Chain A
């Protein structure tokens, strides 16, 4: 009996010890990291920065070297500061961020896109940094890039990069259909003629990734017809002749076979463009980077922005923002200013092939006609829907367009239903 009790006591101590050690955090507590701040010798303390792969598959080594060089440059100016840059996958980034920030385990600084800057700012997930920018020169940033870092009069981040969604052409196929590669279409009406010619030769005209980002494939079509989704006053304006025209045109491209039959849910048709199956491809500098690394078997070029009423396209601005509960806000701001500064900006953007948000950094593309073309087109970009329900809109846009392509709704019905969906979302958001 006594032996059993002793055994029970010893066993319980062992089991509880194992349990407690398994549950305890393995992170070191770092009092120095919470006392970050600029001193006369620069920033101090440790910060964690979450970014995402900016280069393609197989270029992780080059990207790591880029970050190491940037960190080394920062360390020279701020010897008491330590930066840990963590590269996370693009997929599922918002859930991972939200969970980490909510648990107090988030980064001190992270990269995000325009619609999420607004959403996070509205929900109080990121902190305003206006007070940190009083003596910081903002004049070198492009106007369009700064637009996306502000919400209700406060600055919430600094822009790191911009991109332009444009139209790439298979110039060999342009010649094959009897058209002039030096005279690429400027409107959708002009493009449609080429599309019919490409189809007649057994090719697809252009990509449409119905399962992809509406920012790239749906909203620009509406803007190019002179319309919008939610205006700057927060009013839903999507139920308009422009939206009906955009949906009608898209349906025409689908029923004529100018875009593949699986475009309704397709997420990646760029690989088919690179395989020579498309006359044109809607994409950004990511495709350009891939084609520089693995040149396709055909000559390619960047065309004009297509638009019947307005030559406009989607252009993201990637920004750096700080969580509301960052452990080292001062250190995060210091690194944010450095990374978006002229020198680091040149390093980052010359390697990633994104457009710099700083005008002075554009010199890195002297000699690269394609990047200079992107820079020129970036003056005609819109950053998506800058409203707290911006990310919410995407699934409704996708569903309505899919219903049109499936012939379940007319473009007019889809535009009307889209408006009802968004008004419902605005009501729910207002609770």
Chain B
């Protein structure tokens, strides 16, 4: 055993040395806060003084907190509005870029611009575009088409979808890059073989491109899912969780409970519920999307 350890150290010692700072950082900034937060779920704490132990009271409150359950429902609905369109749009943009269009570099930069633009700036633009009176640009255009004024952020049935639209607009540039990279990694001889076999474009996409992008699908699905469950900025900036809690998401509610009411114990409960939901979804995604596909 000792000989094995000595051989490992001799072969890989320098690797372990470089890992030490990362491990220290991980323990201090991830593991310890994770465990401290777990402890806080059983306490009442306002960030000052010692947390007061209250047992399972916070968890009991959560079970009967209708706003918390509404927040979970809203977040799941937001994910439905957000994940698939982001993936589809990213795939389409990736395919277009990979098709060798003229000015591809320009389009790459243009589609990626929202990714590097501040959320505050994008929210300001979105607020003007989707203003719920005839002064908003979208309502102005809809009026030209004979469609009546839409309330958008003030309509509980539309507000969440409009916020999802903003997130899709912001993030599609990144998913485009992921899919573009994935497409570039597919060996060209597979396309040549498909061509020789007389496959149509659609069949080539269905039988070659799409399946071989499975690792990319999995990665994009996991990343966009995690991102969708962390949605906060747009709800905070544009709707403050309204109207009537229609856009209150889990993270927004967690922030609201923590920093407005100063009940960090209860906010930690909400955080843990979020963690469990995202973990379960990631495991399901791994089960169905985490398979390797190979034509070798």
B13 touching A395, Cβ below 8 Å:
no
From A11, A99, A125, A260, give the contact of B132 (CB < 8 A).
A260
B20 touching A261, Cβ below 8 Å:
no
Residue of A nearest to B19 (CB): A15
> Which residues between 146 and 172 of chain B lie within 8 Å of chain A, taking CB atoms?
149, 151-154, 156, 159
Q: A265-B159, A272-B135, A403-B244 are in contact. Are A395 and B256 (CB under 8 A)?
A: yes
B46 touching A398, Cβ below 8 Å:
no
Query: How many Å from the CB of A105 to the closest CB on chain B?
Result: 13
A124 touching B48, Cβ below 8 Å:
yes
> Which residues between 379 and 431 of chain A lie within 8 Å of chain B, taking CB atoms?
389, 391-392, 394-395, 398-399, 402-403, 405-406, 408, 425, 428, 431
> CA A391 – CA B259 in complex, angstroms?
10
Asked if B113 CB lies within 8 Å of chain A CBs, one says: no
> Which residues between 12 and 51 of chain B lie within 8 Å of chain A, taking CB atoms?
13-14, 17-18, 20-21, 24-25, 44, 46-49
> CA A211 – CA B266 in complex, angstroms?
25
- From A12, A15, A18, A261, name the one whose CB has the most chain B CB atoms within 10 angstroms: A261
Asked if A101 CB lies within 8 Å of chain B CBs, one says: yes
Asked if A98 CB lies within 8 Å of chain B CBs, one says: yes
> CA A261 – CA B151 in complex, angstroms?
7
B61 touching A211, Cβ below 8 Å:
no
Query: How many Å from the CB of A102 to the closest CB on chain B?
Result: 4
| Complex contacts, B240 vs chain A, CB 8 Å | 211, 265, 267, 395, 398
Asked if A95 CB lies within 8 Å of chain B CBs, one says: yes
Query: How many Å from the CB of A199 to the closest CB on chain B?
Result: 14
Query: How many Å from the CB of B147 to the closest CB on chain A?
Result: 15
A431 touching B57, Cβ below 8 Å:
yes
| Complex contacts, A8 vs chain B, CB 8 Å | 13-14, 17
Asked if B133 CB lies within 8 Å of chain A CBs, one says: yes
From B24, B52, B153, B239, give the contact of A19 (CB < 8 A).
B24
A261 touching B13, Cβ below 8 Å:
no
| Complex contacts, A392 vs chain B, CB 8 Å | 260-261
| Complex contacts, A124 vs chain B, CB 8 Å | 46, 48-49
Q: A125-B46, A210-B242, A402-B244 are in contact. Are A428 and B263 (CB under 8 A)?
A: yes
> CA A7 – CA B18 in complex, angstroms?
12
B261 touching A391, Cβ below 8 Å:
yes
Asked if B94 CB lies within 8 Å of chain A CBs, one says: no
Q: A19-B21, A391-B260, A428-B61 are in contact. Are A264 and B10 (CB under 8 A)?
A: no
Asked if A189 CB lies within 8 Å of chain B CBs, one says: no
Asked if B131 CB lies within 8 Å of chain A CBs, one says: yes
| Complex contacts, A210 vs chain B, CB 8 Å | 154, 242-243
| Complex contacts, A211 vs chain B, CB 8 Å | 239-240, 242
How large, as a class, is the contact surface on chain B? 35 or more
A262 touching B17, Cβ below 8 Å:
no
Asked if B114 CB lies within 8 Å of chain A CBs, one says: no
Q: A4-B14, A264-B151 are in contact. Are A324 and B48 (CB under 8 A)?
A: yes
Q: A211-B240, A262-B133, A406-B244 are in contact. Are A98 and B47 (CB under 8 A)?
A: yes
Q: A123-B46, A265-B154, A272-B135 are in contact. Are A15 and B21 (CB under 8 A)?
A: yes
Asked if B54 CB lies within 8 Å of chain A CBs, one says: yes
Asked if A119 CB lies within 8 Å of chain B CBs, one says: yes
B21 touching A11, Cβ below 8 Å:
no
B18 touching A95, Cβ below 8 Å:
no
Query: How many Å from the CB of A374 to the closest CB on chain B?
Result: 28
Query: How many Å from the CB of B260 to the closest CB on chain A?
Result: 5
Asked if B108 CB lies within 8 Å of chain A CBs, one says: no
Asked if A266 CB lies within 8 Å of chain B CBs, one says: yes
> Which residues between 36 and 84 of chain B lie within 8 Å of chain A, taking CB atoms?
44, 46-49, 52, 54, 57, 61
A1 touching B239, Cβ below 8 Å:
no
B242 touching A399, Cβ below 8 Å:
yes
| A residues with CB within 8 A of B | 1, 4-5, 7-8, 11-12, 15-16, 18-19, 94-95, 98-99, 101-102, 119, 123-125, 210-211, 260-267, 272, 324, 389, 391-392, 394-395, 398-399, 402-403, 405-406, 408, 425, 428, 431
Q: Which 3 A-B pairs have the closest CB atoms?
A: A262-B132, A264-B154, A19-B21
